[in-house]
Structure 1
Amino acid sequence: MPIGTLRDLGCSGKTVLLRLDLNSPIDPTTHLILDDKRFREHLPTIRALSDSRVVIITHQSRPGKKDFTTLEAHAEKLEELLGSPVTYIDSIFGRHAKEAVHASKPGDVLMLENVRFAAEENLAMKPEEAKKTHLVRKLSAMADFFVNDAFGTAHRSQPTVVGLPLAMKSAAGLLMEKEVSTLSKVFSGAPRPVCMVLGGTKVDDSIEVAAHVLENGIADTVIVIGVVANVFYLAAGYDIGKPSTQLIEQLKYQGEIRKAQDILAQFGDRVIMPASVAVRQNGRRAEYPIDRIPADTPVMDLSMDALTALVSTLKKSGTVVFNGPAGVFEDPDFATGTFELLRAASRVEFSVVGGGHTAAVIEKLGIERDFTHISTGGGACIEFLTGKKLPAVEALEESYRLFG
């Protein structure tokens, strides 16, 4: 089912509620924003609405967290990047907010207070239920249209994400549209062979992705790295040493070993595990085959031999989807695997990267422009790759059905 786009809305001179995801790392002492990547990703959508009254709804963190704060600094940062005024409103839907929106003119950009200051926004609920919330009723009464550009929260079922599209004519912003269309291409139309590289510490999500893409013929091969690889080593009967085994227990991933065994039993010829690893031994990097990992050393990276073999596989791929690092890349001694695999992935015809840590590494390496697409949403991206419909996308489809 289609979703509406900015081209469908005709919102010149109108008031548009624009849902962004500006949730960013913040210095807990100074409240300075440490990374403005998400701000930059939303600029094209804001500029495309330059002849509308734009009312931004966004959030920072969640209740109980140290970085749960007001959006004054966010409005200042956006103003700096946009090169035109952004007015911070210290209210979400109170009289102050309503009066500011009413007084605004086409071309004005307003940013409402952190929407998660409203208790209802922190609840997961069905769209019909979300539509009836006080938050959605008050916000929808303030504008003509709703535009959702917040792909980073697309996997959430919160009122502004799933309720507003049912309350008013809605569309995807340019970033949301790009994310959905590019990630959809992974499922059909991506150049073959398709290789998924699944790493990092989110083992349960990665195993769900691996099962889905292998069962449905979406990926030709799946390379497992990082903690994901350690779970597959255990599933294949290898002893990965006490520190790495304990880490899997601490992360409560013992149940994933059985799922990894099922994947290996069914698709073992299409799952590639690094044949050797780098460990920390006596404070230094040392390399061992996976059947001879010393009992008291933690696995920290791929070995150089394993890296060479995996790079060779990537070079033969038409599409690479990369999610999660190969090891403890923050330590220069163990960053090689992650860095070199990313460099190899950037050279294929169609390359997609999940958000989070991997995107941060790419920026550090200065190779962002070499990738076809770097997703802005780690959780949303990986959920999309498991084949699940994202609540935000479903809500936009429903809005298109209801309002055209």
Structure 2
Amino acid sequence: MPEFHTIDDLPADKRVLVRLDLNSPIEDGEPQDNRRFERHAETVRELADAGHRVVLMAHQGRPGRDDFTSLAGHAEILADHVGRDVGFVADTYGDEALAAIDALAAGEILLLENTRMCEDELPEASPEEKAETAFVETLAPHFDAYVNDAYSAAHRKHASLVGFPLTLPAYAGRVMETEYEANTAIATREFDGPVTMVVGGTKATDVIGVMDALDETVDRFLLGGVAGELFLRAAGHPVGHDVGEMDLFDEQWEKNQELIESVLDERGDAIRLASDLAYEGDDGERAEVAVGDIDEKATGYLDVGAATVADYEPAIRESDAVFVKGALGVFEDERFADGTVGVLEAIAETDCFSVVGGGDTSRAIEMYGLREDDFSHVSIAGGAYIRALTGEPLPAVEVLEAAAKRQ
């Protein structure tokens, strides 16, 4: 169990500063609704219904990027999910923000402007340094408690994540609590049967790190995506390199070749590689080729093939636990969703403990009509999920645990 306090421990009638992660795709300048709003709304609604004065912080994008925008639109989307008005102030800790915070009545909700518009927020630094920033020192005295619900940002040492727990009583929100428990289960729970991990996606370094760290915990790995193709290359197949304008494989191979080869050598019996791959044929339709029939890579491979899915399904169905990190193909294109969706369907139909992680992969559940309730947990975290799987510390969780010991 986590060693931090949760909002179950929060005394009544408090002015509460709550950190969410509402970072969203931006289209035509507007934030797009997604699972994060729905999940965080549970914490926000619970706090407001209990009569707390609820002030929210969140970030969007990074300075210099196209998705670095105001949170005004986020307030409207969140209000729809919470079922209550969510006020917005285009200020974070200036006079306008402080006046709006102090004017809140019980049960009212206010969202502050993008935390990353404050220069104190972004540079990674120790919690002690962050606690001494003007951002934290100005805002904290206006609150009775701090709640962190932003598990997906918990691997960051930013002021809004690690500074406030040093100056205020600190608690975990519902997203923080459920994500932490599910994502650390691979290290903390005992499973009676085989533990399987499905690993894919485009970031091979992450996948290899997870495979290396979970050497003793996972019984078998089912590979796809960029990482899967790089492992096929290590096994001697003429794939796993860039063709045309592609820029996915060669650099990652150069950085990870030695580790890939050593993991394959040491855990080869636990690693299952794709037996066929899918690509776009001359007619624009999906085509498949057996890996053994590939003489040279002349096109990009966009999914694992039907034979691979058929090979992976029995391994999933006899598992006691299945963890997913990354998609097996470019599922956003319906032609190349078969691998990812086929594996997710097998997991959904299996009576096992299951966690689907990596922000993008969880989108496939919604896109292809699968039921979220058929999985034990669908994570909205990316980097923090990787950290949890590899056992690396999460700074924002560590400060919550330290705060619990002080309280």
TM-score class, shorter: over 0.9
Alpha-carbon separation, structure 1, partners of 2:291 and 2:18? 50
Amino acid of the structure 1 residue aligned with 2:384: A
Match of 1:32 among 7, 13, 30: 30
Structure 2 counterparts to residues 3-402 of structure 1, below 5 A: 3-10=4-11, 12-27=12-27, 29=28, 31-50=29-48, 51-191=51-191, 192-214=193-215, 217-240=216-239, 243=242, 247-249=247-249, 251-282=251-282, 283-295=284-296, 296-348=298-350, 349-367=352-370, 368-402=372-406
Alpha-carbon separation, structure 1, partners of 2:30 and 2:391? 37
**What is the CA deviation profile of residues 3-59 of structure 1, one whole-angstrom value per residue up to 9, with x for unaligned ones?**
11112221x2111000001111121x3x33322321110112112212111010111
Give 1:268 deviation, angstroms: 0.9
Amino acid of the structure 1 residue aligned with 2:311: A
Alpha-carbon separation, structure 2, partners of 1:384 and 1:242? 30
Alpha-carbon separation, structure 1, partners of 2:36 and 2:93? 24
Amino acid of the structure 2 residue aligned with 1:308: A
Alpha-carbon separation, structure 1, partners of 2:279 and 2:118? 47
Alpha-carbon separation, structure 1, partners of 2:320 and 2:34? 32
Provide the aligned C-alpha RMSD in A. 1.7
Alpha-carbon separation, structure 2, partners of 1:228 and 1:239? 14
Amino acid of the structure 1 residue aligned with 2:225: G
Alpha-carbon separation, structure 2, partners of 1:235 and 1:5? 46
Contact between 1:231 and 1:248, CA under 8 Å: does it hold in 2? no
TM-score (normalizing by structure 1) = 0.94
Alpha-carbon separation, structure 2, partners of 1:4 and 1:78? 25
**What is the CA deviation profile of residues 341-368 of structure 1, one whole-angstrom value per residue up to 9, with x for unaligned ones?**
1111222311101132211111112222
Alpha-carbon separation, structure 2, partners of 1:35 and 1:257? 39
Alpha-carbon separation, structure 1, partners of 2:206 and 2:121? 25
Select between 201-210 and 382-391 the one with higher mean Cα deviation: 382-391
TM-score (normalizing by structure 2) = 0.93
Contact between 1:195 and 1:220, CA under 8 Å: does it hold in 2? yes
Give 1:330 deviation, angstroms: 2.7
Contact between 2:39 and 2:175, CA under 8 Å: does it hold in 1? yes
Count of aligned positions: 398
Alpha-carbon separation, structure 2, partners of 1:71 and 1:174? 22
Alpha-carbon separation, structure 2, partners of 1:312 and 1:397? 40
Amino acid of the structure 2 residue aligned with 1:129: E
Give 1:294 deviation, angstroms: 4.2
CA pair 259-244 structure 1, distance change in 2 beyond 3 A = farther
Contact between 1:234 and 1:257, CA under 8 Å: does it hold in 2? no
Amino acid of the structure 1 residue aligned with 2:263: I
CA pair 241-18 structure 1, distance change in 2 beyond 3 A = closer
Kindly report structure 1 stretches of 4+ aligned residues shifted beyond 3 Å. 241-253, 283-286
Give 1:82 deviation, angstroms: 1.6
Contact between 1:353 and 1:375, CA under 8 Å: does it hold in 2? yes
Name the SS for the 2:26 alignment partner: coil
Contact between 2:230 and 2:249, CA under 8 Å: does it hold in 1? no
Structure 2 unmatched ranges of 5 or more: none
Give 1:241 deviation, angstroms: 6.8
Structure 1 unmatched ranges of 5 or more: none
Amino acid of the structure 2 residue aligned with 1:320: V
**What is the CA deviation profile of residues 101-148 of structure 1, one whole-angstrom value per residue up to 9, with x for unaligned ones?**
111111111111111100111111111111111111112111010000
Contact between 1:276 and 1:306, CA under 8 Å: does it hold in 2? yes
